[in-house]
Amino acid sequence: DIQMTQTPSSMPASLGERVTISCRASQGISNYLNWYQQKPDGTIKPLIYYTSNLQSGVPSRFSGSGSGTDYSLTISSLEPEDFAMYYCQQYDSSPPTFGGGTKLELK
């Protein structure tokens, strides 16, 4: 299985700040990388698919980039509702696997 490692595991940040979350695969995944947001109540929302494509309805302050083994999710200016857990997920090969998550916390 492809292992996905997210860094940092937690990140204190302030409203309006620009933040970047990293995700590294144990082997190249050819941009087959998705991002999800999980709120404290457990609700999971898809954000980005195929590295950089925003799911319908996701605000444009979210963006994704990367290639090979290294990928990132950037939020350009943090809003109150952005403080949550974020997970990356690869689908280059089966089984699809998720990163361990990054918790974005209010500083």
Partner 1 sequence: QVTLKESGPGILQPSQTLSLTCSFSGFLLSASSVGVGWIRQPSGKGLEWLATIGWEDVKHYNPSLKSRLTISKDTSNNQVFLKITSVDTADTGTYYCAHTVYNNYPIWFAYWGQGTLVTVSS
| Binding footprint of partner 1 on the chain (CB under 8 A) | 1, 32, 34, 36, 42-46, 49, 55, 87, 89, 91, 93-101
CA distance 31 to 25: 10
Q: How far is the CB of 65 from partner 1 (least distance, A)?
A: 18
Least Å distance between CB 77 and partner 1? Answer: 26
CB atoms within 10 A of CB 44: 11
Strand partners, 65: 72
CB of 28 to partner 1, least distance (A): 17
Please name the residue that has the structure tokens 């996905």.
4
CB of 35 or CB of 83, closer to partner 1: 35
- Chain centroid to CA 106: how far? 17
Nearest residue (CB) to partner 1, 16 versus 95: 95
